[in-house]
Structure 1
Amino acid sequence: GVDEKTFHPASGGDKVRARLGLSDRPVVVCVSRLVPRKGQDTLILAMPAILAQIPDAVLLIVGGGPYAKDLERLAV
Protein backbone atom coordinates (compact mmCIF):
# COMPACT_ATOMS: atom_id res chain seq x y z
CA GLY A 1 0.00 0.00 0.00
CA VAL A 2 0.86 3.67 -0.16
CA ASP A 3 1.41 5.86 2.88
CA GLU A 4 -1.00 8.71 2.11
CA LYS A 5 0.64 10.90 4.75
CA THR A 6 3.89 10.79 2.77
CA PHE A 7 2.63 10.63 -0.82
CA HIS A 8 0.02 13.04 -2.19
CA PRO A 9 -0.58 12.01 -5.81
CA ALA A 10 -3.10 14.77 -6.53
CA SER A 11 -1.07 17.62 -5.06
CA GLY A 12 1.33 19.79 -7.02
CA GLY A 13 0.40 18.57 -10.48
CA ASP A 14 -0.15 22.05 -11.86
CA LYS A 15 3.23 23.21 -10.53
CA VAL A 16 5.01 20.24 -12.09
CA ARG A 17 3.25 20.80 -15.41
CA ALA A 18 4.23 24.48 -15.36
CA ARG A 19 7.84 23.72 -14.43
CA LEU A 20 8.15 21.18 -17.26
CA GLY A 21 6.22 23.30 -19.77
CA LEU A 22 3.53 20.66 -20.24
CA SER A 23 0.44 22.88 -19.89
CA ASP A 24 -2.52 20.62 -20.72
CA ARG A 25 -0.67 17.98 -22.77
CA PRO A 26 -1.60 14.34 -22.08
CA VAL A 27 1.09 12.76 -19.88
CA VAL A 28 1.96 9.12 -19.23
CA VAL A 29 3.92 8.93 -15.97
CA CYS A 30 5.91 6.02 -14.59
CA VAL A 31 7.38 6.42 -11.11
CA SER A 32 9.48 3.43 -10.08
CA ARG A 33 12.95 2.03 -9.65
CA LEU A 34 14.61 1.76 -13.05
CA VAL A 35 15.29 -1.95 -13.46
CA PRO A 36 14.48 -4.18 -16.46
CA ARG A 37 11.70 -6.14 -14.75
CA LYS A 38 9.63 -2.94 -14.29
CA GLY A 39 9.08 -2.64 -18.06
CA GLN A 40 9.86 1.03 -18.64
CA ASP A 41 11.39 -0.02 -21.96
CA THR A 42 7.92 -1.13 -23.07
CA LEU A 43 6.57 2.36 -22.40
CA ILE A 44 9.36 3.93 -24.43
CA LEU A 45 8.86 1.50 -27.31
CA ALA A 46 5.09 2.16 -27.25
CA MET A 47 5.48 5.94 -27.58
CA PRO A 48 5.50 6.03 -31.42
CA ALA A 49 2.13 4.25 -31.48
CA ILE A 50 0.80 6.54 -28.76
CA LEU A 51 2.06 9.63 -30.59
CA ALA A 52 0.40 8.45 -33.81
CA GLN A 53 -2.94 8.66 -31.99
CA ILE A 54 -2.16 11.50 -29.55
CA PRO A 55 0.57 13.67 -31.13
CA ASP A 56 1.05 15.96 -28.13
CA ALA A 57 1.42 13.14 -25.56
CA VAL A 58 4.46 13.06 -23.29
CA LEU A 59 6.14 10.23 -21.38
CA LEU A 60 7.73 11.02 -18.01
CA ILE A 61 9.79 8.31 -16.37
CA VAL A 62 10.71 9.23 -12.81
CA GLY A 63 13.12 7.22 -10.72
CA GLY A 64 16.64 5.96 -10.52
CA GLY A 65 18.44 2.70 -10.83
CA PRO A 66 20.89 0.63 -12.83
CA TYR A 67 18.71 0.66 -15.97
CA ALA A 68 18.61 4.48 -16.32
CA LYS A 69 21.35 4.82 -18.96
CA ASP A 70 19.89 1.98 -21.04
CA LEU A 71 16.48 3.66 -20.99
CA GLU A 72 17.99 7.01 -21.95
CA ARG A 73 19.70 5.41 -24.96
CA LEU A 74 16.46 3.69 -25.96
CA ALA A 75 14.49 6.93 -25.76
CA VAL A 76 16.76 8.87 -28.12
Structure 2
Amino acid sequence: MVYRNLKADKIRKRISHYFVLQPIVLESWITSLTLLRNACCHHSRVWDKVSSIMPVSSRRIAHSTNRPTSYTLG
Protein backbone atom coordinates (compact mmCIF):
# COMPACT_ATOMS: atom_id res chain seq x y z
CA MET A 1 0.00 0.00 0.00
CA VAL A 2 2.94 2.29 -0.62
CA TYR A 3 1.14 4.15 -3.43
CA ARG A 4 -1.81 5.01 -1.17
CA ASN A 5 0.52 6.26 1.58
CA LEU A 6 2.33 8.78 -0.60
CA LYS A 7 1.67 12.19 0.94
CA ALA A 8 2.29 14.24 -2.16
CA ASP A 9 -0.66 14.04 -4.54
CA LYS A 10 1.62 15.34 -7.28
CA ILE A 11 3.79 12.21 -7.09
CA ARG A 12 0.73 9.91 -7.24
CA LYS A 13 -0.47 11.77 -10.33
CA ARG A 14 2.92 11.42 -12.03
CA ILE A 15 3.01 7.69 -11.35
CA SER A 16 -0.55 7.16 -12.59
CA HIS A 17 0.13 9.33 -15.65
CA TYR A 18 3.06 7.05 -16.54
CA PHE A 19 0.60 4.12 -16.72
CA VAL A 20 -2.00 6.25 -18.55
CA LEU A 21 -4.52 5.86 -15.72
CA GLN A 22 -6.32 8.12 -13.30
CA PRO A 23 -4.92 7.93 -9.72
CA ILE A 24 -8.10 6.38 -8.30
CA VAL A 25 -8.05 3.64 -10.95
CA LEU A 26 -4.41 2.77 -10.33
CA GLU A 27 -4.92 2.73 -6.57
CA SER A 28 -7.90 0.38 -6.84
CA TRP A 29 -5.96 -2.07 -9.04
CA ILE A 30 -2.93 -2.01 -6.75
CA THR A 31 -5.21 -2.70 -3.78
CA SER A 32 -6.92 -5.60 -5.58
CA LEU A 33 -3.61 -7.13 -6.61
CA THR A 34 -2.27 -6.77 -3.07
CA LEU A 35 -5.29 -8.61 -1.67
CA LEU A 36 -4.92 -11.37 -4.29
CA ARG A 37 -1.22 -11.70 -3.51
CA ASN A 38 -1.91 -11.96 0.22
CA ALA A 39 -4.57 -14.61 -0.33
CA CYS A 40 -2.16 -16.67 -2.43
CA CYS A 41 0.69 -16.31 0.06
CA HIS A 42 -1.50 -17.43 2.95
CA HIS A 43 -2.88 -20.41 0.98
CA SER A 44 -6.40 -19.06 0.76
CA ARG A 45 -8.77 -20.20 -1.96
CA VAL A 46 -8.85 -17.73 -4.85
CA TRP A 47 -10.82 -19.65 -7.49
CA ASP A 48 -14.63 -19.61 -7.63
CA LYS A 49 -14.55 -16.79 -5.12
CA VAL A 50 -16.25 -13.42 -5.55
CA SER A 51 -14.08 -10.65 -4.24
CA SER A 52 -15.76 -8.09 -2.02
CA ILE A 53 -13.44 -5.38 -3.35
CA MET A 54 -13.47 -4.90 -7.11
CA PRO A 55 -11.01 -2.66 -8.97
CA VAL A 56 -12.36 0.40 -10.75
CA SER A 57 -12.41 0.04 -14.52
CA SER A 58 -11.49 2.87 -16.81
CA ARG A 59 -10.90 3.31 -20.47
CA ARG A 60 -7.34 4.20 -21.28
CA ILE A 61 -6.58 7.74 -22.34
CA ALA A 62 -3.76 8.95 -24.54
CA HIS A 63 -0.79 10.73 -22.97
CA SER A 64 -1.39 13.76 -25.13
CA THR A 65 -5.00 14.36 -24.04
CA ASN A 66 -6.20 15.82 -20.78
CA ARG A 67 -9.80 14.60 -21.04
CA PRO A 68 -11.32 13.27 -17.83
CA THR A 69 -12.04 9.55 -17.75
CA SER A 70 -15.39 8.16 -16.68
CA TYR A 71 -15.36 5.72 -13.78
CA THR A 72 -17.52 2.67 -13.33
CA LEU A 73 -17.38 0.06 -10.62
CA GLY A 74 -17.06 -3.58 -11.57
> So what's the TM-score if we normalise by structure 1?
0.31
Greater strand fraction, Structure 1 or Structure 2: 1
- Larger RCO: Structure 1 or Structure 2 (Cα < 8 Å, ≥ 6 residues apart)? 1
> So what's the TM-score if we normalise by structure 2?
0.31
Greater helix fraction, Structure 1 or Structure 2: 1
